[in-house]
Structures are given as C-alpha cells and as structure tokens.
Amino acid sequence: MKKLYLLLLLSCGQLQLIAQDNDDLLSMLGTDEPTVDLATAGFKTNRVVNGHSIENTAKGVMDFKISHRFSPLRGGAYDIFGLDGATVRFGFDYGITDRLMVGIGRSTKEKIFDGFAKYKILRQQTGKRNIPVTMSLLMDTQIKTVKFSDPERKNYFWHRAYFTQQLLIGRKFSDEFSLQIMPTLVHRNLTQNSEDKNDVISLGAAGRIKLSKRVAFNAEYYYVLPNQLANAYVNSLSIGFDIETGGHVFQLHFTNSQDMTYKGFITETTEKWFFEDDNGNTLTGIRFGFNVSRVFTIVKPKPLY
C-alpha cells in the first residue's frame, strides 16, 4: 500500500510539471486574439449643428430632437434679439443596428416633412484592423406640404420633393479634436427661378474641440460650388456649444441659416453673418438657435452570455 501511495504522489507531481510547461509554452506562443479598438464619440450627437455628424444613434435607442432657429439678432431688444420669431423642427432618430440609423422630422418652415437613412460604411479603428477614418452615407428626402401659392394652376406633387445624398468622412484625432468633411448633392425637382440649378453640389466641413468633460465647441460650414445658385444666396456658417447633462445634450449655436433641412440651409440661406445696408450701417444676419436631444432605450441589448 505504501508503494501505491508513493506512485500516486509521483504521478501528481509529474502532471503538475507538465501543466506548468504547457502554460509556459502557450504564453511563449502568444495565443491571445488581437483586439479591435473602435473610435467613439467623435461628436456628442449625430448632428453637428444643422447637418449630420459621423456619429450614429446606438442600436435600439430612440433620439428625440427639438430644434429652434430664431429671427436675426439685429431686431434688438424690441423682439428680444430674435426670440419673438422661431422656426421649429422636431424629429425622431432610431438606431436599427450599430451601423444603420433612420429618422423622420417635421419643420414649421414650409411645413416640411423629412426622412433619412444613414449607414456607417467604415468605422475608425486600431488593433486587428487599422482604419484611419469613419465614413457614412446619408440619403435624405424632404417634402413640402405648405399650400400651393397659386392653387388655380396645375401643380404637381413631385415639384415639392427634394433629395440629398451626402458622404461623411471624419476622423477623431484625439479625445479633444475631431474633424469631418461632407461632399453633398442636393437635388430639387423644382427651383425658385431659372438661375438656380436643379442639382447643387456643395462641400461641407465641420470640427469639434472638447473644452471639458461635458462641453464641446462645434463649427460647421457648407461651401456651394459657383454658378449653381442665384446671387441672393450665401453659404451656411454655424458655430456653437454642446453641453451634455445625463440623458440630454443641449446644443446652443449661432448660424445664418433659418432652415434645418438640407435643401434649406445649403441652397436657400440668404443672410450673411455681417453686411451693410444702403445707408452704410453694419447689420447682422446671425440667428441664435438650439437643438435639444433626449435618448430613450427602446430595445435593450442582449447579454453576451
């Protein structure tokens, strides 16, 4: 019996040594799978100011947005620096997958209904794969529902439709700085005058600078290529601040655009930030505005195990 006990002890010692040798061998081989580190939160919401950012609403999450653009500041105290007049848009954005989101909205200006789909083609990442930028494709449709100005003439429904295709290419350079460019095509089935092209090409640029854990500075500019619009129209320029408070994001900004749909702020902005009247007085076309975003989880993510 003593010999049997001695044999068992020796066997256990050999098994322990073999296990240790195997662990050392596996560590030398480096069997850990390479990980993927996705860049996130390049912008605080899926909008910069008027236009989209490279960010998507998360899968299963509903983002309810209320946006205001007030009258120009030049009205002074008489109309509380534009607060007496407002254009309003409210909308719902929903994340179908981590890459695909959709949304609908309605604006008081021209009683426009809009709907969009945005798909994230590439996601900036390092590790197993190195992709330096995030790239998204946006398809947007806007329908005017305001009554026809001349109901006696023959009016066509498709004259009230507008379509936007946009490619968003952005990079989060650091936790403090993100930048994106937005080549954009706006198609209008009917234009306001013969000088306007039905297809308008513009190039947008936007950036974000993080000022603190919950505050960021945003800027957005859309340059319309020459010889596409009448001389009365100007490029859209907007700056502002994002303030995150729990489930809300408040975006406070200044812009020269009244409209919050693509056909509006790209092709129909009429007021410059600063200009002179016929008497040589310097006036401003700047408007104060804000977006308020509140997210709700509609479908909770499934546990991994």
pLDDT in tens, 181-211: 999 999 999 888 888 999 999 999 999 999 9
Interval 107-134: pLDDT, tens: 999 999 999 999 999 999 998 889 999 9
Paired tokens of 30: 């480096």
Q: What is the pTM of this model?
A: 0.85
Which residues neighbour 185 within 8 Å (Cβ) at sequence distance 6 or greater? 164, 165, 166, 199, 200, 201
pLDDT exceeds 80 at position 286: yes
Domain boundaries, the chain: 36-297
pLDDT of 17 strictly over 50: no
pLDDT band of 33, cuts 50, 70, 90:
low
pLDDT exceeds cutoff 70 at 20: no
Q: Helix, strand or coil for residue 205? A: strand
Q: What whole-number distance in Å separates Cα of residue 62 and Cα of residue 102?
A: 10
Structure-token pair, residue 88: 């309003």
Pick from 122, 135, 114: which is nearest to 50 by CA?
Answer: 114
| Confidence at residue 21, expressed as pLDDT on a 0 to 100 scale | 46
Nearest C-alpha neighbor of 220 from the set 35, 23, 48, 102: 48
What mean pLDDT do residues 42-62 have? Answer: 95
Mean pLDDT of the chain: 88
Task: Name the CA radius of gyration of the chain, rounded.
Answer: 27
Q: What is the pLDDT, as a whole number, of residue 194?
A: 81
Contact partners, residue 227, CB within 8 Å, separation at least 6: none
C-beta of residue 81 within 8 angstroms of C-beta of residue 73: yes
The pLDDT value given to residue 239: 97
Residue 123's pLDDT is: 95
Hunting for tokens 């952005």 — which residue is that? Answer: 170
Q: Check pLDDT > 60 for residue 11.
A: no
Which positions ≥6 away from 234 have C-beta within 8 Å?
256, 269, 270, 271, 272
Residue 271: pLDDT over 90: yes
Tell me, what DSSP letter sits at residue 146?
S
Residue 304: pLDDT band (50, 70, 90) is low
C-alpha closest to that of 298 among 92, 65, 139: 92
Place of tokens 């799978």: 33
74 and 260 Cβ atoms separated by less than 8 Å: no
Overall average pLDDT of the 144-154 stretch? 85
d(CA 48, CA 129): 28
Say what percent of the chain tops pLDDT 70. Answer: 88
Task: Provide the CATH topology of domain 36-297.
Answer: Porin (2.40.160)
Beta-carbon count within 10 A of 10 CB: 10
Confidence of residue 3 (pLDDT cuts 50, 70, 90): very low
The 10s digit of each residue's pLDDT in 159-180 is 899 999 999 999 999 999 999 9
